[in-house]
Chains A and B, each alone.
Chain A
Amino acid sequence: MLEFDWGVIWKYREALWDGMLTSLQLFAIALAGGIFFGTLLALARLAPWKLVSVPAAGFVNLIRSIPFIMAIFWFYFLTPMIVSKFTGQQGEAVGPFTSAVVAFIMVESAYYSEIVRAGIQSIPRGQPAAAYALGLNYWQSMGQVVLPQAFRNMLPVMLTQAVILFQDTSLVYVVALKDFLGAASKAGQLTGRIVELYIFVAVVFFILCFLASHAVKRLQARLAVGR
């Protein structure tokens, strides 16, 4: 019964490639945004002022306690509603890609903020003290002394999180965004060769994530030596 026709993959290579580009684009934006805003969130959580740290902690805990897929849904259906409420106009205000990007950045920044917070806390307090003693201000002390060391310590965990993020990009199928998995599904439905296409998707994901995990391990070994 099982007769594979791998030719469909070649036939739909362009659609698949476009899907992969969408996935990679979403991944790259979410990663950069997540690390950037995650760092700001971590700094906010560690700030000595409750007015700053409590809302930041609230946001992080809220995001972390809802399923990722729900956040994506929310932004897709809620954002247009909110936008139309404020502008008085009807219709879809943001497309699936934009709403997915917003959802991914928010969720990833919550996850990355926890990683960055742990990284900052791993730096002995004497380091910022020495920076301040030289006359550096808060931002200089963070930017020159604390964060570079913290990021170095965090690199393996951050890469591991990036691998998870890349896998999570496939969740955007719920908002009908044509990512790599979405493109494969579509091709599968059109040709009835869904098994081949899903196997192909799985293999590609496996290879990419395996290579990344391997890189993390090597990096960890190198950082351990450089200590």
Chain B
Amino acid sequence: MPMIELRNVSKWYGSFQVLDDCTTRVGKGEVVVVCGPSGSGKSTLIKAVNGLEPFQKGEILVNGVSVGDPKTNLPKLRAHIGMVFQNFELFPHMSITRNLTLGQVKVLGRSQEEAEAKGLKLLDRVGLLSQKDKFPGQLSGGQQQRVAIARALSMDPIAMLFDEPTSALDPEMINEVLDVMVELAREGMTMMVVTHEMGFARKVAHRVVFMDNGQIVEDCTKDEFFGSVRSERAQTFLSKILHH
């Protein structure tokens, strides 16, 4: 059973179709990179996976649980899917430590000490233990994103979703975040990553999904994608992002 499975998912904003019959899957331990031009529906797709974006047609299963089913306990499902956003979305009014413990305490019911121990261990792992008492606003973008990854990991996720985690960062900070993600991928984390960092895709992705106009145009292995991209649209896209 795949960890994440999308079956013929469609979504409309009024008469505008954002997702058009999208079908794909992410196996356990697999890393899937999603790319495509701006406005092609990548964010919408990845947010549909943990129920942040409702959809009108099709089905999404995470670990066998249907996301679109009204009977599904979404908070419970989301608690075990880590999500990292383009703009970090740390809680600015809470210390780094509090950011790391909030979900563990409120959602998983862990004790404050247990949550703190876990959070600080992960903070250490992303190399930011010394920042534990600071507030998000006092950290650089790259540091904030690493904290955001640690926050997601503190919930012991069965899969991680990334929505352009490096595109709001200054170039010199991109690698510190990608390094953390590469390490995570190599440890066998199931990951669905919207990104245009093709270096990352080459290094750790198993498959690449290419989207355009709400459709999944390409869904193939990394080697196929970088070797002989079949669609013209994907080729144009690749040549654009590789040459800027």
Footprint of B on A, CB under 8 Å?
124, 126-127, 129-137, 140, 144-145, 148-149, 152, 227
**Interface residue? B224 (CB, 8 A):** no
Contact B75 A130 (CB under 8 A): no
Contact B92 A149 (CB under 8 A): yes
Contact B83 A133 (CB under 8 A): yes
Contact B106 A144 (CB under 8 A): yes
Interface of A is mostly: helix
Identify the closest chain A residue to B47 (Cβ). A129
Complexed CA–CA distance, A134 and B107 (Å): 8
Among A124, A129, A130: residue with most chain B CB under 10 A: A130
Interface size in chain B (residues, C-beta < 8 A): 28
Identify the closest chain B residue to A145 (Cβ). B91
**Interface residue? B115 (CB, 8 A):** no
Footprint of A on B, CB under 8 Å?
47, 50, 52, 74-76, 78-83, 85, 87, 89-93, 102-103, 106-108, 137, 151-152, 155
Contact B89 A130 (CB under 8 A): yes
Identify the closest chain B residue to A152 (Cβ). B93
Contact B102 A134 (CB under 8 A): yes
Contact B155 A132 (CB under 8 A): no
Complexed CA–CA distance, A126 and B137 (Å): 16
With beta carbons under 8 angstroms apart, the residue of B87, B89, B107, B137 that contacts A135 is B107
Chain A residues with CB under 8 Å of B78's CB are: 132-135
Complexed CA–CA distance, A130 and B155 (Å): 13
Chain B residues with CB under 8 Å of A148's CB are: 93
With beta carbons under 8 angstroms apart, the residue of A127, A140, A152 that contacts B106 is A140
Contact B106 A136 (CB under 8 A): yes
Complexed CA–CA distance, A149 and B89 (Å): 13
Contact A227 B155 (CB under 8 A): no
Chain A residues with CB under 8 Å of B151's CB are: 134
Contact B102 A129 (CB under 8 A): no
| 10 cross-chain CB contacts under 8 A | A129-B89, A130-B91, A132-B52, A134-B79, A134-B107, A135-B76, A135-B78, A136-B107, A144-B91, A227-B137
Contact B155 A135 (CB under 8 A): yes
Contact B52 A135 (CB under 8 A): no
Chain A residues with CB under 8 Å of B89's CB are: 126-127, 129-130
- A136 and B91 in contact, given A129-B85, A130-B85, A227-B137 (Cβ under 8 angstroms): no
Chain B residues with CB under 8 Å of A144's CB are: 91, 102, 106
Complexed CA–CA distance, A99 and B194 (Å): 58
- A149 and B93 in contact, given A134-B102, A135-B75, A227-B137 (Cβ under 8 angstroms): yes
Complexed CA–CA distance, A130 and B80 (Å): 13
Chain B residues with CB under 8 Å of A134's CB are: 78-79, 102-103, 107, 151-152, 155
Chain A residues with CB under 8 Å of B82's CB are: 133
